[in-house]
Amino acid sequence: MSKLDYCFSNDYMVLRPDRASPFDLLHLLFSPKVGRNKAVDCFTSTEIRSFPRRLALFLNLLLQILLLSLAGPVAAIGAAVELALNFVDNVLHGKMEYPDRSSASYRSLTGLIDRRVDLDRSIAPADSRHHAALCVMASKVAYENEAFIRDVVTRRWQMEFVKFYNCWNEFESAYTAQAFVFCDKAGPDAELVVVAFRGTPAFDAARWRADLDPSWYKVPRLGRAHAAYTHALGAQRNMGWPKWVEHIKGKPQKVYAYYTIRDAVKGLLEASPKARLLVTGHGSGGALAVLFATVMAYHREKAVMDRLAGVYTFGQPQVGDAMLAMFAERNLDRPKKRHFRFTYAGDPLPRLPGVGSPAHFLHFGLCLHFDVSYNLKVIIELLL
């Protein structure tokens, strides 16, 4: 029998740091009967005999509890730091004005650390590197506010900005997925439609927790998927991934990422006969990007998948198990490679969530790894 009142899967394990008492944490250490533990949502008959695995879950829960307690203060400190840095930036550029967080000149900490926004004009659209070069900059710009993104796309890149999306997470009752869509040209002349998902912001401890969370659901025909990214992308209580859903009636601002962006992409591709689709993101944005494309394949969106040019992710965490990996490779990498996962040196993000059985989370597909000297090594992940 299931304890999870919103479960859509017959095989799942979801950690609940919000319900974990000291007794529940100790119970997790000393008893294999995790199905009777309030800190773990799974079937009541579930047991984990392995002490190292229970210890890993115990430590992960402790870390999640800490991050949840710090989420408010970290967000407040982060907002103050970014505001101060933007004020200093204004002064250094000769503008004695108070920063406006919604303006096209306001930058996130990521944007202040690395100010690059321009595309590499030495890489022509016909160059085999063009898609990757465009996606890496789109993934970076995705961390900024809507006005900043619009300004970069239209003025600096001279492309067509379509829309910025701030999407609702039904499980957390919060906006946890952001993305923007743009085209390389206006109207029916477009040759590329690009979806760029935002990764975890620098001062968002609640999202750090989600990245670390090893919770998962087994989705029929798809495999085990990372719970936090499943939630953020728009999975539905009790239904999971139906092909169609209605957005929240009377609340047009509460839209679900997968369904809203998918429908927008379908409309753009129908209006632009020559256009092909790119999906990208950094960090957790990369996780959302590859799941977005995978769920479209799951829903047999053949018209869109036939025009998918590539999924480019940067520092992408693990998103699922071997079954999901095989499904993704079968649909994204055949007849040719379309999923490209870029990693850099010792970046910890691709190692997340890093807890639990290796059978639950692993990487898949083609990995393009750069060391600290930017030497490239191509790694093919083998599915055992």
Q: Residue 84 pLDDT > 70, yes or no?
A: yes
Q: Residue 44 pLDDT > 70, yes or no?
A: yes
State the residue range of the domain holding 352. Answer: 12-381
Are the C-beta atoms of residues 224 and 314 closer than 8 Å to each other? Answer: no
The H-or-E segment that residue 212 falls in is helix 205-212
- Predicted confidence band at 1 (pLDDT cuts at 50, 70, 90)? very low
On whether residue 248 sits in a domain, the answer given is yes
pLDDT tens digit string along 199-214?
Answer: 999 999 999 999 999 9
CATH code of the domain in which 225 resides:
3.40.50.1820
Residues 6+ apart with CB under 8 A from 291: 225, 226, 229, 230, 233, 319
Q: Residue 356 pLDDT > 60, yes or no?
A: no
Tokens 């936090």 -> residue = 228
- Predicted confidence band at 384 (pLDDT cuts at 50, 70, 90)? low
On whether residue 177 sits in a domain, the answer given is yes
On whether residue 353 sits in a domain, the answer given is yes
On whether residue 134 sits in a domain, the answer given is yes
Mean pLDDT across the chain: 91
The pLDDT value recorded for residue 189 is 94
On whether residue 6 sits in a domain, the answer given is no
pLDDT higher for 365 or 234? 234
- Predicted confidence band at 360 (pLDDT cuts at 50, 70, 90)? confident
What is each CA distance from 339 to 220, 270, 383, in whole angstroms?
Answer: 22, 23, 15
On whether residue 5 sits in a domain, the answer given is no
Q: C-alpha angle 320/325/326, rounded to 5°?
A: 150
- Predicted confidence band at 382 (pLDDT cuts at 50, 70, 90)? low
- Predicted confidence band at 78 (pLDDT cuts at 50, 70, 90)? very high
Q: Residue 181 pLDDT > 80, yes or no?
A: yes
What's 270-293 look like in SS3? HHCCCCEEEEEEECHHHHHHHHHH
The H-or-E segment that residue 28 falls in is helix 22-30
φ and ψ of 42, to 5 deg: -165, 180
pTM higher than 0.75:
yes
The pLDDT value recorded for residue 2 is 44
Tokens at 204, concatenated: 């968002």
Quick one: average pLDDT of 319-344? 93
On whether residue 7 sits in a domain, the answer given is no
pLDDT tens digit string along 238-290?
Answer: 778 888 887 655 566 789 999 999 999 999 999 999 999 999 999 999 999 99
Strand extents, DSSP E, the chain: 12-15, 40-41, 160-169, 174-183, 192-197, 216-219, 223-226, 276-282, 308-314, 339-344, 365-370, 376-381
Are the C-beta atoms of residues 154 and 112 closer than 8 Å to each other? Answer: no
Q: Residue 298 pLDDT > 50, yes or no?
A: yes
The pLDDT value recorded for residue 238 is 78
Instruction: Specify the number of domains making up the chain.
Output: 1
| Buried/exposed 160-170: b ≥16 CB within 10 Å, e otherwise | bbbebbebbbb
Quick one: average pLDDT of 53-58? 93
Q: Residue 300 pLDDT > 70, yes or no?
A: yes
Q: Residue 182 pLDDT > 60, yes or no?
A: yes
- Count of H-run helices and E-run strands, the chain: 11, 12
Tokens at 69, concatenated: 């307690």
